[in-house]
Amino acid sequence: MPQDKSQSPVVEAVRAVSHRDHAPGRQLGITRDLISQVVHAFYDEIRADALLGPIFGKRIAPERWPAHLETMVEFWSSVLLLTGSYKGKPVPAHLQLGVEDAHFRHWLALFGQVTARLCTAEIAALFMERATRIADSLRFAIATAEAGDGPPRFPAPLAAGG
Ligand code: HEM
């Protein structure tokens, strides 16, 4: 009887390793430590920011910030290093925040400043490319949720090429 390869832990392990080796961030030398630095520096800026600080402050009590930062390190490790360690649900977290395009543009501008300060140009560009695409998918999900049973009014994409 032919062996079902998907059942083999060894095959799964090899597949997982080679998959991770090809993670976009690994090829540029991104480490979990760099991701952690970016996440911490970025949310320091966010918390002090006049536009975005209060929105985060309403949802995340001071004692929940360490857990949020940890979640965001796992999120970015999953995006850039394909660790699969982020298990959350981004869309529900962003519904009912009352955020509009101006908030997303400002989030991305702050993220751009932090990544430019802490990363090489190539790494900063990768962070920004992924952040912009994810921001768009959140914006489209928000538009869909806000439309209820009606047709959604999708915003113009922020990412180049749509
Ligand atoms: C207008 C811009 C944004 C605002 C105001 C915002 C706000 C928030 C808030 C308040 C939370 C915490 C929710 C909670 O724990 O109750 C959160 C979680 C999160 N955000 Fe954002 N966010 C924004 C944009 C983004 C973007 C662009 C990304 C990704 C590139 C992102 C990724 C995440 C992720 C992964 C979580 C964790 C969700 C979970 O698993 O619990 N956010 N955000």
Taking only the tens place, the pLDDT of each residue in 67-82 is 999 999 999 999 999 9
> Is residue 105 a part of any domain in this protein?
yes
Taking only the tens place, the pLDDT of each residue in 137-154 is 999 999 999 999 999 889
Domains identified in the chain, total number: 1
Q: Which residue range forms the structural domain that includes residue 14?
A: 5-147
Report the separation in Å between the CA atom of 94 and the middle of ligand 1, taken as the mean of its atom positions. 6
> Is residue 58 a part of any domain in this protein?
yes
> Is residue 155 a part of any domain in this protein?
no
Give the domain CATH number at 56: 1.10.490.10
CA-nearest residue for atom 36, ligand 1, is 90
Placement of tokens 């966010």 in the chain:
46
Q: pTM here?
A: 0.91
Check pocket membership of 133 for ligand 1, CB cut-off 6 A.
no
11-36: burial string, b at 16+ Cβ within 10 Å, e else: eeeeeeeeeeeebebeeeebebebbb
> Is residue 13 a part of any domain in this protein?
yes
Check pocket membership of 131 for ligand 1, CB cut-off 6 A.
yes
Check pocket membership of 43 for ligand 1, CB cut-off 6 A.
no
